[in-house]
Amino acid sequence: MQPRSMKFIALGLALAGLSLSAQAHRGWLLPSNSMVEAKEAWVTLDGAISEGLFEFHHVPLRLDGLTITDPDGVTTQATGAVLGKYRSTIDVRLPKDGTYRLAIVNKNVFGSYKLNGETKRFRGVEGSPGAQIPAGATDVETSTTHARLETFVSANSTSEGALKPSGTGLELVPVTNPTDLRAGEPIRFRFQLDGKPLANFPFSMVPGGVKYRGTLGELRFTTDAKGEASFTVPSANMYWLSAKYPYEAAQGRPQPGARRYSYAATLEVLPQ
């Protein structure tokens, strides 16, 4: 399998296995600011995988697949990331005023088949050579994991063009702009799966700085019958929002035919 494919598989496994336990390794993106006010706006984005949220102590999160959606809804591939020992870093220019979405999305395929009487297993990014099933294969069994990891940044003002959902996978649809969140003030988000609202769907938010508190500090919420949640958070901080579908999916390798989805985002909540 090609090294590039292996990078995305590793990321997909990390994101698909998102856990809320204090010992879990989480993948996250961390912007230097969620609201940049400057004539020439830039943001620095770090990516890492670690037990402690927003701490650089385990391995870097590769930014090979990072995409940037601008305020007009145009998505481009990010370039220029630097891979370090514990984190990856990229400087992103924000040429237009408004809100940007910075995201890594992976869809990985796992499975097995029989060829010439021998059982073979495979895994790979969907559409990559490693995920191809050869002609003549029988007893094919596949499962998929769809993982989305993202954050949001605004330059000088907020906008909605970058916030429109793709209609694929597990997605957060912000009603409140995700770069204009305040402690103690109502936040409204929707969750959807392949374009359909997720009713009674649980998700959580964990503030950074766990090592200074000694406790995880996880906040748990659930969407209503329309897939929407309205809630507040008590204090300003960088938060890691996470969710998975199905919610009770077991950890480890997906069973044949299974489809798992995960979502995670870094959101900055400012003081009132």
**163-183 per-position pLDDT tens digit:** 999 999 999 999 999 999 999
Q: Are the C-beta atoms of residues 221 and 203 closer than 8 Å to each other?
A: yes
CA 49 – CA 17 distance, rounded (Å): 12
Tokens of 200: 């009674």
Task: Return the CATH class of domain 3-107+143-270.
Answer: mainly beta
Strand-pair category, 219-222 with 88-94: unpaired
Compute the average pLDDT of residues 13-23.
Answer: 41
- Structure confidence at residue 162 (pLDDT): 98
> At residue 2, does pLDDT exceed 70?
no
CA 87 – CA 174 distance, rounded (Å): 28
